[in-house]
Structure 1
């Protein structure tokens, strides 16, 4: 019996599946804690968020099993079709979508259930990006290939931005790490890091102070590499470009962002201190996490949770429930599970025999890493509130189904890696 004929049960990376199940279970119990009502203690009550989440988890497992039973050729061949469908759904939601919290991002399915197309755009974009980059004669170092790959990422980003959903839009930027793994120059990542750093510094300090720092750094580098003429010329050109960028940061900031977006960034950077206004959510979240101390207050014993001090506690701020009721130990456990999951995904990606599977694997790792980092940083006050779920833990069917699909497609590709040359 060859590898193509063997049951997927013998080839699936079950360690990754166990981590997935652990995170889903943790999510379910913490959603129960976040919206717990002492008058209704039934954890399977389908009229509650935790009851619905049980349905979402059960259906997600069905989705995962169906994906594992599919042919890998199906996933590869239909990558463009998946992408087109999600783009059409993103267009449809702009027309008939339901507005929730200022974002027209959901399609109402009835019965209290909603579908968020932007969540599904993540795995379809990863599939098409992998399909394109693994094609013959495609090299990310060539401008045409970089442009097409960027377009694959940019199209859903623009449609999601129109909703407007800034959090989901930002997540797609993480796919730059996929391009880096496939040969994009490290200087491109350094450039992005430099732009972000200059942006923050220009908001925190005066223009002339930042320029003085840039000039001092440039002089130091020129002295160190004075014998390298090409480096010196590039350094001077870069210095002029950086100074120009510093001058336009504040005009772009005040004219390009909405007032509430600026307020959230100002709060994180310490330019504003409004604990009862724009900073209320994060302040209450930090209080909840800090009050848990080492071992937490115990399951269903969180006072910040019980008295609903933190808005959106079952979704965007679910991590503060973990911190309050399970303490530092519980928080580290959750972070450890995510770290272990990301390491497993990278190991899986690197052991693939085909470029398609490897590229897709790095797409999965990038998306999950971005979600976890932003969500937790938001909960502890190190990033502005932008509203993205914590993978497998936050309440929501679209999020859970999307991440399940994202992960189980990789597990399917991996389970068949020894006997295929097409994926």
Structure 2
């Protein structure tokens, strides 16, 4: 199929949502970083001016993506993936260590975080692998290969160490589920997460007793033909071992700052002027916005600089304080609208490659959005993940832009006709 004109069949709704989010993010960065109101939003000496430069340089990236033949992403997926792994591995030689993490390249005034771009490459390879008609995610061997594709970049990122970025890659399990991965994998992950949290809050013996009651009830509620006491016994033993291992993992495996973040979440043994300071100030800022907010550039918590890193991971606190509940809901609706739009367009694809990639994009954006918002309202431990299109940073903006527009190009080019 010959490559179509750039403007043919482009999803302008997705582009509109993207543009609105990027502009709103830029304006919010300006407010979050503004020491006084005499500085121009275009001042390249300020983060708002730098973000404007990142936005401007995203335009040629978009043009290139929409101009290139969409077939290259299928054809060269493995090359992109290998390059992504190489960039991640290269950090251990050439990377810059910041706050104990070696996850950035820095050359002169230019910095780049390769994990952001590795998400795109991993998504392309997962899509390439699953597009093979012989691949069936009901088969254990095929599941292992798919998990291995995700595990390679995760392992390199965990060695940096950067648990927040590594966690994002597990969102690709949602795309695998759409393409046939058995649902018990997701259920097991959700149960394990719930048990980990409960084991930190409840005495292990009481939690095991509760689990035993649930298992017995589930056994007798299951149809007789599907009752397997050995399977139930194995599951119960596994749950027991996992629950009793939580305290060891929390005490001896997790880093001190990771334990502090979990303690902050549960309000346990936390000094709110030390390890709990960031989250406490973020909640004060969001709560002070009320229904309609204090007004743009009028946030007292924001202007006072009480929330650290407010223009990056904590950018949503400025939205909550200055735009209030109404503004926060508006931003959330824009994100949800973009996610639903991507899923809708993905379901239109006849090509498994483009459909899977669309779900990978939606999954990654969803996980970033979910973790960033929930950590600010104390529903999840603090992790260093940016809010897509909102948080300050060239690497994240360029990566999210490339990721989204590759799919827009696939959809516009009707790769489902391959």
Give the paired residue count. 418
> Paired residue for 1:173?
170
Pair 1:334-2:331 in alignment? yes
Separation of aligned partners in 2, 1:233 and 1:273: 43
| 1:416 pairs with 2:410 | no
Q: Distance in 1 between matches of 2:167 and 2:353?
A: 24
Q: Which residue of 1 aligns with 2:5?
A: 7
Partner of 2:332: helix, strand, or coil?
Answer: helix
Structure 1 distance, partners of 2:269, 2:120, is 37
Instruction: Tell whether the 8 Å contact from 1:4 to 1:416 is kept in structure 2 after alignment.
Output: no
Q: 1:176-204 deviations in whole A, cap 9, x for unaligned?
A: 11111111111111111111111111111
Instruction: Give TM-score, length-normalised by structure 2.
Output: 0.97
Whole-Å separation in 1 of the counterparts to 2:270 and 2:61: 45
1:320 and 2:320 matched: no
Task: Map residues 16-415 of structure 1 onto 2, 5 A cutoff.
Answer: 16-38=14-36, 40-111=38-109, 113-225=110-222, 227-228=224-225, 230-415=227-412
Higher mean Cα deviation, 34-43 or 126-135?
Answer: 34-43
Shift of 1:219: 2.1
For 1:33 and 1:382, locate their aligned partners in 2 and report how far apart those are by CA, in whole Å.
26
Deviation by residue 1:364-400 (Cα, 9 ceiling, x = unmatched) = 0110000000001111222111111000000000000
Does the CA-based 8 Å contact 1:72-1:412 persist in structure 2? yes
Q: Which stretch has the larger CA shift, 89-98 or 316-325?
A: 89-98
- Structure 2 residue runs of 5 or longer lacking an equivalent are none
For the 8 Å contact 2:195–2:243, the answer to whether it is kept is yes
The separation in 2 between residues aligned to 1:239 and 1:9, in whole angstroms, is 57
1:222, distance to aligned residue in structure 2 (A): 2.5
Q: SS of 2:105's equivalent?
A: strand
Is the contact between residue 134 and residue 355 of structure 1 (CA under 8 Å) also seen in structure 2?
A: yes
User: What's the CA shift for 1:256?
Assistant: 1.1
Q: Contact (CA 8 Å) 1:4, 1:419: kept in 2 or not?
A: no
| The 10-residue stretch of structure 1 (287-296 or 240-249) with the greater mean CA deviation from structure 2 | 240-249
State the Cα deviation string for residues 310-345 of structure 1 (Å, max 9, x = none): 000000000000000111111001000000000001
Q: Which runs of 5+ in 1 are unaligned?
A: none
Contact 2:137/2:182 (<8 A) preserved: no
Q: How far apart are 1:5 and its partner, in Å?
A: 5.5
Q: Which runs of structure 1 show a deviation greater than 6 angstroms over 4 or more consecutive aligned residues?
A: none
Cα distance change on mapping 1:41 and 1:161 into 2, 3 Å: same
Distance 1:229 1:16, change over 3 A: closer
Q: Deviations over 1:151-185 (max 9, x none)?
A: 11011111111111110000001111111111111
Q: Confirm or deny: 8 A CA contact 1:289 1:320 kept in the other structure.
A: yes
Contact 2:260 2:270 in 1 (8 A): no
SS state of the match for residue 312, structure 1?
Answer: coil
RMSD between superposed Cα atoms in Å: 1.4
CA deviation profile, 1:257-276 (whole Å, cap 9, x unmatched)? 11111111111023233211
Contact kept in structure 1, 2:350 and 2:416, CA below 8 Å: no
